[in-house]
Chains A and B, each alone.
Chain A
Amino acid sequence: MTELALTPSQTTGPYLEIGLIGGPISSQLVDESDPRAIRISGVLLDGAGDPVPDGLVEIWQANAAGRYAHPADDREEIPVEEEFTGFGRSSTDDAGRFAFVTIKPGRVPWVDGRLQAPHLVLGVFARGLLKRVATRMYFPDEEAANAEDPVLGGLESEERATLLARAEDSALRFDIVLQGRAQTTFFLV
């Protein structure tokens, strides 16, 4: 079969909110009244340490039981949640801040069957980013699971540190640094 040539990427530009905010995809994956609800917020920063006010962060995650709402995750022994898509997006505000209300995902298997620690998959877009960059966020209260996570375990300790959210008040704080000494670790997926 012939391989068709892929369509290349271009930047979202600064006006992405016109097309990507206000539609069916929101930053609230569950209702705030859900007893399992957690808040995750952070600041998107550039190489000068300045906030990026024209960015977009998307998250993709499994449900609380550790199952993705996608046909490729066909592990029927793990329950699906009809109302939970596992996908959300937040544009950044003038202070570069993005925020989500979601639930903590369960553990999903690695390529060799070992369990990964609970994590979110993130995609970041912005004016000045010619293509999406991808990273992951891990949870600070999962020390044992994080210690045996195959992705965290394959990284240098400074890289690993950039993927860990920290508890701040009653929420999780996860800053994303696009460039510079504290750059977030980005993956080629």
Chain B
Amino acid sequence: MQPETMFGRVPDAALTETDPPLLYPDYVGTRLRAPKEPLVLLPSSLSELTGPVYGDGALGEADADLTRQHAGEPLGERIVVTGRVLGSDGTPLRGQLVEIWQANAAGRYRHAVDTHDAPLDPNFTGWGRCLTDDDGTYRFTTVLPGAYPWGNHPNAWRPKHIHFSLFGRAFPERLVTQMYFPGDPLFPFDPIFNSIRNEGARQRLVSRFELELTQPDWALGFRFDIVLGGREATPLEEPHVD
């Protein structure tokens, strides 16, 4: 009987070229939630070469316009957020479900757990969905989210951000991230943003203001392109045979 080959083990702390490490103590929430055992490097079988696929028909007309989901218009600076979803080889990813959520202009989420002393907006829920077009482009109309305080450390404030959820072509490409706005003064103080150790990678989460996207007398335009790919890892611990 031939011996089973054990899989390689990769310490998560080595995987910081793009993504943050699981354990980043400055972000207090990671301390009891970050797995500490090395990750098991799994070869890609059909289970990892596949992943959820979406077609038309699942979404409503106002799903991509967060300012038109209620009877009235939400307060705040109206913005357009658009960009392309690409594979790492530059392929536009078509028909991809893009999901977003965010705080309102006052920095308050419509969620029972958010007790920040800032007003809810009856005309803003803060979710959006759309599918990318043939060019890989998504587009949302919303309002600029506010910054808000959180309990991580004394006087902690999150920079303005929009949460993004993406699928890619297969299970390993699934990504949830946050898009930030250019020039935010809170960047140096935010452990979530700074958990990404690679400066260049961090900057890829900052959207660009573009006058060309800005609609006269209507809305400021921000561009945020997203690149999805498989794992970055090279295993540091070689597989061994028992």
Contacts and interface: CB of A to CB of B under 8 A. Distances in A.
Interface residues of A, dominant DSSP = loop
Given A5-B201, A70-B53, A183-B35, A129 B40 contact: no
Contact-residue size bin, chain A (C-beta under 8 Å from the other chain)? 35 or more
A30 B171 CA distance: 21
A113 to B, nearest CB: 10
Interface string B39-63: 1111111111111111000110000
A131 B22 contact: yes
Contact-residue size bin, chain B (C-beta under 8 Å from the other chain)? 35 or more
B236 to A, nearest CB: 11
B18 A8 contact: yes
B10 A188 contact: yes
A61 to B, nearest CB: 8
Given A19-B99, A60-B171, A70-B50, A8 B231 contact: no
Nearest to A153: B4
Interface in B1-50: 4-7, 10, 15, 18-22, 24, 27, 29-37, 39-50
A54 B19 contact: no
Contact of B227 (A5, A119, A125): A5
Contacts of B171: 60, 121, 123, 134, 189
B35 A6 contact: no
Interface string B189-219: 0001101101011101100000000000000
B123 interface: no
B71 interface: no
B165 A6 contact: no
Contacts of B101: 15-16, 18-20
10 contacts: A4-B229, A8-B204, A9-B176, A13-B163, A16-B101, A60-B50, A108-B46, A134-B171, A179-B34, A188-B233
Interface of A: 1-20, 22-25, 46-48, 50, 52, 54, 58, 60, 62, 68-73, 85-87, 108-111, 116, 119, 121, 123, 125-134, 136, 150-151, 153-155, 159, 178-179, 183-189
